[in-house]
Structure 1
């Protein structure tokens, strides 16, 4: 759900399909996550003015606050994980993980 919130925050006019494509996951998973985020009052759906069949997703103030908090923890965790890595080793690891994800 955190990754969904990150995408919504960085793309003000995203929808379920955009998130599923960005995360390379099934639409059903995103639909469940978005419903949970709505229930928690972290996001809202806004109908598009030019087409009522579709809606965009936006973070609420509470959602923005939670995302900032999560990002703070994420940054601390990332710093701990790569603490003894050189910049080259860190870059290599990220490239290998990206390659792994592409293969999946």
Structure 2
């Protein structure tokens, strides 16, 4: 429920940007890791290559992401945020912070820290479980 409502909140709050909640993550990761490759983006986010390619292509078409071919290996594409994306990214971060603040309203600082740590551990466990199952099935995984 929280995941779905978060996506809906972001979609409503940022509807004028013409990007969807699924792409906010990609903008943030590219901004925080300028020059990363599409493979790196897939690996860090636990996405398949097709999902990354589709999202990055749309962001590129909207002039939010610049794709540069590696000079040493033409198969490799490096990703950079454009100037047009920077104010959008600032709004994404402000929206995220406002959403988080609303979700933890009334919590003590200790409660907020405890739930954040609990969710971090659960996220680590989920990655380990999915990776283990994928390895048992002989599948490649990009998750941590």
Shorter-chain TM range is 0.7 to 0.9
Partner of residue 102, structure 2: 80
Say which of 67, 78, 84 aligns to 2:89.
67
* C-alpha RMSD of the superposition: 1.5
The aligned length equals: 104
Partner of residue 69, structure 2: 47
TM-score by length of 1: 0.87
User: How far has the Cα of 1:80 moved from its partner?
Assistant: 1.3
User: How far has the Cα of 1:103 moved from its partner?
Assistant: 3.5
Identify the range of structure 1 (55-64 vs 86-95) with the bigger mean alpha-carbon deviation. 86-95
How far apart, in 1, do the equivalents of 2:74 and 2:41 lie?
A: 20
For the pair shown, the structure with the greater C-alpha radius of gyration is: 2
User: How far has the Cα of 1:31 moved from its partner?
Assistant: 1.4
Partner of residue 13, structure 1: 35
Partner of residue 19, structure 2: none
Unaligned runs of 5+ in 1: none
Unaligned runs of 5+ in 2: 1-22, 127-144
Secondary structure (helix, strand or coil) at the match of 2:84 reads helix
